[in-house]
Each structure stands twice: as structure tokens, then as C-alpha cells.
Amino acid sequence: MASVKVSRRDAHRLLAGLCALPSATSLWADTPASNNTPAARLPTEAFAQLPMLSGLALSPDGKYLAGLVNIENDTVLITRAVASGSQMVSLLKSDNQRFFFNWVKWTSDDRLVASVRYAAVRGNGIGTQETRLISVKRDGSELLHINLKVDRGGSREASIPSLQVQDNVVDWLPEDGKNVLLALGEGNEGWPAIYKLDLTTGLRSGVHGAKRGVYAWMLDRKHQVRIGVARNGGRFEIIERADPGANWRTLWSFERDSQATAWPLGFGKDPQELWIQAWHQGHLAVFSVDLANPALPRTLRLAKADTDMDAGLMHSPRSGEIVGLRMTTESGSDDARDALWDPELKALALMIDQQLPGRFNRLLSFSNDEQSYLLHSSGNGRPGQYFVGHRARGELALLGETYPRLPTTQLTGKQTVRIVARDGLPLNAFISQPRGAVPGKPLPLVLLPHGGPHSRDDVDFDSWTEFLTNRGYCVLQVNFRGSDGGGLKHKLAGMQRWGLEMQDDLTDAVQWAVAQQLADPQRLAIVGASYGGYAALMGAVKTPTLYRCAISFAGVCNLLDLVFEESDYIGGAAAVEAQIGSVWGDRERLRATSPALQADRIQAPVLLVHGSVDRVVPVSHSQGMAAALSRAGKPHRYVEQEGSDHHLSRYSHRLEFFKLMEAFLAQHIGQAA
């Protein structure tokens, strides 16, 4: 990895979007046209591009920006001054093959740190995903690639192995600016200890030793190690100590996904105030807990009756107080809006919503004096845009767009619908129809199950859906049982139900769309990635005459293999057994719900695409599926993308997949647009 300058041509392209700071008053002249107006056919490249801007961060003094800019196959780490007309500085470029950027964070006014990941193979032959930190000054000088090795008593021998995960920062030490606290897992079992890492030298010193069974540590606002999260199989224990000389005590102990779950979120300014996420009336809620009281009384801070509150804490950089809760979902729904209770912050958010109405506006960060701020704004059928603002001056200026080649006048957005599964379980779902769709005239439909499966679909912009609707397809997305956000009952209903009721939910949703005259029953397809790829293949297995084709990107194909693979990782065996099943106790069920072991039941043509360096779902899954389809004499195509990962992180790989998907759908359910 080396610092690489951006070409003059690429620099001009970037500067066009990043140097001019127009007033926000005219930004939204591109109000979406009526959905009655057919969309122009946009180039596949516009949808397949990686977001032009991502990971923007504001320096503590509010004078500089850092972020990631994608130019075709390359991602560039850049900085620039906030002032209008400032020049951009290229710090580091990735070709998205040797390594990928994860995130960027300022540690002082003139230094930032980036996390990168890359695929590797350890000496035992197991494919791994490695992470490293890169420290650099904002002008590109003092670039340091940090590679931490297993501690062998100070030895510097080249043969000493590097640690696999090196970017787990547990405390940024904002008053320091030079050092951070890092959790590193060493030894055969990998339980993490905490070290102070000097970002100017790459040297570390021990702060807190590892404790057997504890896989995560949490510090209070005074930088003291206060909370440990321990795991023993499927049971978790939250331990706490008041100060370094005190004994550890158990706060809560619970089984995975039980009613007694209590996950720590962080501390308030008061070191005796711990905030947690726990179940309340069937949904996740946020509480604060008084640790000074042995009874551990809880104060309810945020709850809603029909959705989970999955949130992180927002601290004021000036006072250190908690001023709100940041919802972890990117959905544009009201449930996903950050909960703010600081009066000045609420007033600012209201002002922004008035200037940028009908959008999901999220305050990302503030300068230390809380005058300058960074904003991300997106919406239903509207890609994200970044803004920088100044409170005292009342300024709000556009920095750039995530998808500048996608005009909002040609995008569709999503409609939220409620579907009832065959056993009465309510399901949230989303319908996206092409512009110009005629009510009562069924269209070819693509069912697009999400990955995870513990994630969820929402109304916010996604390029896959917009690409498919631009090509004339109706798109259906379903938060099937087991998806996040639906409460404890909804979550538990998906346990060990891969290929069973989870699959039935998708079938029921398609049949609903047909009954509503949204979908042509003779032109149905199912497309997905990761777990969604598994669901696409199981749809072809379980309902062989329902779909005209199935497309899987990086899909799980063999549940027996998946359970074996996950058992190689700490805590993996217990987690996968709870969610999917046991190789020994559930062997027949796992065989019956593994697409690669049921290939003879498939009738619809299948497209399989998988990256060769996928470290989430090994490429062997799709290789085995393709071999099984060949043995069964089933129509299929298998494309293995050399150097591609689980996330289509390289533009050329994403473009190739979009073109393959487009051609396959056109062939089997009709060229819709």
C-alpha cells in the first residue's frame, strides 16, 4: 500500500463536485416528477458505480474535511479545507483489490486515521479478512502503515505473525490527539487486551490485560475500563467494576436473544450512568442504569410500540453530556430519525428540515465548539448528499452527491405495505414500481430478499431497486420473520427456520403482489445476495414453478458447510447453532433446506455469481451449487469474479454483475423496458 497521486483528469472530476459550495436554497429544484411519467433509460454504469462520496468526517476545529471518493475502480482518501475554493489533497488511493477502505476518523486537527481491510490466507489454510490502521497528516505527510504483531517479548523477528484484526478502537482519547486505545486479540483463544497505540510511531503499550471469556471491553468517558462482555457458548454476561482496584461484578447474565437481554451502549458524562439496550413490551428500547445503586434501577429513555430502537449514543463534544440517540438504521422513516433532546440541537434539526423538507436529514458530527457541522441528507427515491453547515452564520452548503449520475426526476422510491403471512404473522414490505406503471396492469416482478438475514429493508435509496425499476420491473422487498426491527417475537420466529417459514413469507408476499395485480404470475423472478442469494435458490427449490428464474450473488448454498465453517471462529458454533441448527441434531432438516443438496428439485434457470476472495460466504458454496446443478442437468450459468469480495467493493465487479443480472432477467421474464 502506497500513497498514490490522483491524475489530473480525475482531479478535475472530483474538484467539480467538491470545491464549489453553493447555497442550499436552490439545491432541490430537481423535485421528482410524477410517477405517471415514464423514466428515461439510464446507463447501467450510473447504478453500478460506488457512491462518489462516502465516510465524510469533519475535523475537530471544523476547518477541514476528510472522506473517501470513488473514481471508477479506485477509492481515494482525500482532505480539503471547508472554505470555498479550497484545493483537495489526495492522501492515499486504493484499487479496491489489494485493500479496501472501511472508515476515516480525525484524531486531531491535523491528523487522521483510516481503517483498511484485505483478504488473506493464514498458515492453517483458513481464508481471513485482515484489518489495519493507516495514520497520516492532513497534508499527506507522515503516512504510516501500522502493522501490529503478536507480542513475543519485544522480539522483532520477521517470522512473528501479524494480528488479524487491528482496527478495534475502543477509545479515541480526543484530548490526546496522538494516541488511541485499541483492543487486540492475542493468544490461541484471541481474547482481547487493551493497548495504547501511538499513531505517529505505530508503537503500543499495554493498558488492560485480557480476561478469559471476555470478547469486548467498554470504557467510560474518563477513559477507564468499566464494562466487559463475556460469552460462554450461547450465554452472555455483562461484568462491571467501579475502578481499577475494584473487583468485577456481574450486572446481567442472559441467554442469546432472550427477554433478559441487556446490551451496554456506553456511558454518560457521569461515570455511574450506563446506557443499555433491552427489551421493553416486546421491542428493543433504550434505558439508562444507575450503577451506584446495587438494585441497578433502569430509566426508560426511548421506546416505540411497534419497532425496535436500535441506537447509539450522541455526546456533545463541548459538554460531554448525552444529547441524543443516533438510530443505526439508515431508513428515511420516522422510526429511524435520531432522537434529540438538547433544545439547541432540536432547533437546529428543525431548521434543517425546513430548508430540506421531505428528506431524512442526519447530523453526522460537530466541531469541538459545536458551531460547524456535517450533514447527510437522503430520502425515498433520493440518493444521499453531504452538506456542511455553520450555526452562528446560518449557512448550509452542498459538498457533493453520492450518485451524481442518477437524476432524482428519473427515480421511483418505495411504497410501504403490510402483508400477513399464512400463519398470521404481519410483515412489513416495500413495493417499487417503474415510472409510468398503469394501475391494474401487472408487471414482471423481481422479489429481492435482503441479506443477513438479521438485517432489514427500508424506504431509503438503494441502487439495486432503482436499477430494476428503471428497467421496467416491479420490485418487492420483504422483512420476513427473523429480520431486524420487528421485535422479539418476530426475531425468534426466524430461529432455525431457514428455508421453512422464512421462505414461506417470501412466497406469501409474491402471491399477495399477484393478487393485487401488481405482478404478472407468468413473469416472476427472485434475486438476492448473501442470505438473499440463499433465499433465491431455496425459492427455486421449494416453489419450482413459481419463478421463471433465480439469481444468487454470493449466496449460501449448503447449510451443513456453513455450520462447519462458522465453528472455526470464536463463538461461531453457538451462534450458528442457535440461528440455523446443529450438524448432528438437525442434519436432515439442514440437508432438506440446502439448495446444493436439493438441486434436482430446481426447474427454473439459475444464475450464480460469486467473488473469489469472499471472506463472508466462501466461494466454495457457489462452486458446489454449480457442480450440483450440472450433475442434475439443470440450466444454469456460473460466473466467478476473480478478486471480488462479498460486497462488490470494486466498480468493475459490480458493473459486471448488474449487466449479468439485467441480461438474465430480460431473457427469462421479458425485456420490460
Segment 633-641 shows an average pLDDT of: 98
What is the pLDDT, as a whole number, of residue 154? 59
Q: Which residue has the cell 477509492?
A: 75
**Is 105 within 8 Å of 125 (Cβ atoms)?**
no
Query: Percent of the chain, pLDDT > 90?
Result: 78
- What φ, ψ does residue 344 adopt, rounded to 5°? -70, -40
How does residue 4 score in pLDDT terms, banded at 50, 70 and 90? Answer: very low
- What φ, ψ does residue 364 adopt, rounded to 5°? -85, -45
Give the Cα separation of 493 and 483 in Å (integer): 10
DSSP classification of residue 570 = T
pLDDT digits (tens, 9 = 90+) for 339-367: 999 999 999 999 999 999 989 999 999 99
Give the Cα separation of 228 and 267 in Å (integer): 13
Q: pLDDT higher for 345 or 233?
A: 345
Of 411, 478, 486, which Cα lies nearest the Cα of 445? 478
Q: How far is CA 41 from CA 414, 467, 637, 673, in A?
A: 19, 10, 27, 8
How does residue 305 score in pLDDT terms, banded at 50, 70 and 90? Answer: confident
What is the pLDDT, as a whole number, of residue 655? 98
Q: How far is CA 289 from the centre of its chain?
A: 29
Residue 17 has pLDDT above 80, yes or no: no
Residue 22 has pLDDT above 50, yes or no: no
pLDDT digits (tens, 9 = 90+) for 155-204: 566 667 889 999 999 999 999 999 999 999 986 678 999 999 999 999 99
Half-sphere exposure of residue 666, counting CA atoms within 13 Å on the CB side?
A: 11
Residue 280 has pLDDT above 80, yes or no: yes
Segment 460-479 shows an average pLDDT of: 96
pLDDT digits (tens, 9 = 90+) for 35-46: 678 888 999 999
What angle separates helix 531-542 from helix 501-515, to the nearest 10 degrees? 70
Amino acid of residue 296: L
Of the listed ranges 86-95, 151-160, 293-302, the least confidently predicted one is 151-160
Beta strands in 421-579 (DSSP E): 426-432, 443-447, 474-478, 519-529, 549-553
What is the pLDDT, as a whole number, of residue 670? 86
How does residue 583 score in pLDDT terms, banded at 50, 70 and 90? Answer: confident
Cell numbers for 195: 493497548
Give the Cα separation of 183 and 217 in Å (integer): 8
pLDDT digits (tens, 9 = 90+) for 586-632: 999 999 999 999 999 999 999 999 999 999 999 999 999 999 999 99
Residue 143 has pLDDT above 90, yes or no: yes
**Is 131 within 8 Å of 166 (Cβ atoms)?**
yes
Report the length, in residues, of the chain: 673
Peptide bond into 161 cis (omega under 30): no
Give the Cα separation of 104 and 255 in Å (integer): 35
What is the pLDDT, as a whole number, of residue 328? 76
Give the Cα separation of 104 and 116 in Å (integer): 9
**Is 143 within 8 Å of 136 (Cβ atoms)?**
yes
Segment 132-152 shows an average pLDDT of: 92
Cell numbers for 605: 434457470
Sign of CA dihedral 337, 341, 345, 349: positive
Q: Which letter, b or e, does each residue of 266-294 get, where b requires 16 or more Cβ atoms within 10 Å of its Cβ?
A: bbbebbebbbbbbbbeebbbbbbbebeee
Q: pLDDT higher for 432 or 30?
A: 432
Element (H, E) at 16: helix 8-18
Of the listed ranges 3-7, 72-76, 110-114, 146-150, the least confidently predicted one is 3-7
The per-residue pLDDT of the chain, averaged, comes to: 90
Half-sphere exposure of residue 351, counting CA atoms within 13 Å on the CB side?
A: 16
Q: Which residue has the cell 428540515?
A: 353
What is the pLDDT, as a whole number, of residue 584? 87
**Is 329 within 8 Å of 312 (Cβ atoms)?**
no
Homologous superfamily of the 412-558+594-669 domain (CATH): Alpha/Beta hydrolase fold, catalytic domain (3.40.50.1820)
- What φ, ψ does residue 621 adopt, rounded to 5°? -60, -50
Of the listed ranges 155-159, 225-229, 390-394, 605-609, the least confidently predicted one is 155-159
Residue 213 has pLDDT above 80, yes or no: yes
